[in-house]
Structure 1
Amino acid sequence: MMRLLSLFFLWDLLPPGVKRKTKFQECLDKTHRRLSQFIDPAAIRFFRAPMGMQSATMAEVVREKGLVSVLGDVYSNDPAIGSQAPSQAKTQFHANFIAHRVRRGSVVIMHVPQRFARHQCSAVLRTVLPALKAKGLSCVPLSVLYDGAQAKSGTHERTAAENCSVL
């Protein structure tokens, strides 16, 4: 018991930045373990900061883990549609918003449906995917977009590609 108390006491003496880094590392490791149950751990290469807000500490940890930080360039605030069956007008708004802003190499942010929420994305995708196809675009995994950009430019920094990706 004394050892446990000592650890808690030492934790309290750590500067706030170290605590945040440790906590973020723990969260990232937990997420990695969960994802590794479903996909090859080597396929886990990217990180998107919550709401696109990444601190210097988060960037440091992401770099240490060998991950690539990703931001999207097209986001229609799809959670605002609501968790119930979306109306046709709301679905059409979000589909149009996305379709008119996507360019080759775009990264679209959409939220994955959950058991009791976020079912709006399914309806938006059913509407927007044909519109993107009509523009000559296809949706690909982020890894394809990233690897294509790297091969084309010879660097990790550029995002020119012949597709778009939906996150």
Structure 2
Amino acid sequence: MSYAAYGAKAFRAALEECQRVIDEVNERVGVAAERKERFYRPPRGRINKAHRRVLAEQGYCVVMGDVFPNDPHILDAKYIANFVGTKARPGSIVILHMPERGFRDTSLRGVAGALARMSLRNLRCNTLAACQARHR
């Protein structure tokens, strides 16, 4: 879903609802409550001034990526693995949509293949939070 057409009030409400769900999941899986990193990737890379203002008020860091295999539309695990595994560079931010069993299974298999290819190239993965902490 793209929030591009949302005004500031509707965007803020959607963002707060999303954060509520994330906090609930984090609590269930035992992620430390003191972790307050908040990242936002604008759908399709589009963001307007009102949204930037709301994100800044809420403490979000806007993140863009440089490796995007178009996984919602290309449902081919080998393609995803090859694309990500060859295009990723040190410092790359890879954009993949959340894979689940029964939904975007190809992304799940593609991630495994991409990780194997990147490992052969001596690349390793990290979280955005770890990268952000390292550069503070």
> Scaled by the length of structure 2, what TM-score is found?
0.83
For residues 44 and 33 of structure 1, do their structure 2 counterparts lie closer, same or farther at Cα, with a shift above 3 Å needed? Answer: farther
- Check whether the contact 1:79–1:120 (CA below 8 A) recurs between aligned residues: no
Deviation at 1:44, TM superposition (A): 3.9
Greater fraction of residues in strand: 1
Distance 1:116 1:37 in 2: 23
Q: CA RMSD in A?
A: 1.7
Greater fraction of residues in helix: 1
Deviation at 1:116, TM superposition (A): 4.0
> Scaled by the length of structure 1, what TM-score is found?
0.68
- Check whether the contact 2:65–2:95 (CA below 8 A) recurs between aligned residues: yes
- Check whether the contact 1:32–1:44 (CA below 8 A) recurs between aligned residues: no
* Structure 1 unmatched ranges of 5 or more: 1-18, 83-89, 152-167
Please tell me the residue identity of whatever aligns with 2:49.
Answer: A
Please tell me the residue identity of whatever aligns with 2:68.
Answer: Y
Moved more, 33-42 or 72-81: 33-42
Whether 2:127 is the aligned partner of 1:141: answer: yes
Whether 2:36 is the aligned partner of 1:50: answer: no
Q: Match for 1:119 among 100, 105, 116?
A: 105
Deviation at 1:114, TM superposition (A): 3.8
Distance 1:79 1:63 in 2: 28
Partner of 1:92: 78
Partner of 1:129: 115
Distance 2:93 2:116 in 1: 17
Distance 1:46 1:110 in 2: 15
Encode CA deviations 1:120-165: one digit per residue, 9 max, x unaligned: 11110121111111111111111112222x14xxxxxxxxxxxxxx
State how many pairs are aligned.
125
Whether 2:2 is the aligned partner of 1:26: answer: no
Deviation at 1:50, TM superposition (A): 1.5
Partner of 2:68: 75
SS of 1:66 mapped into structure 2: coil
SS of 1:106 mapped into structure 2: coil
Deviation at 1:115, TM superposition (A): 5.5
For residues 147 and 44 of structure 1, do their structure 2 counterparts lie closer, same or farther at Cα, with a shift above 3 Å needed? Answer: closer
Deviation at 1:41, TM superposition (A): 6.7
Distance 1:94 1:114 in 2: 15
Deviation at 1:65, TM superposition (A): 0.7
SS of 1:37 mapped into structure 2: helix
Within 5 A, what are the aligned runs for 1:156-167? none
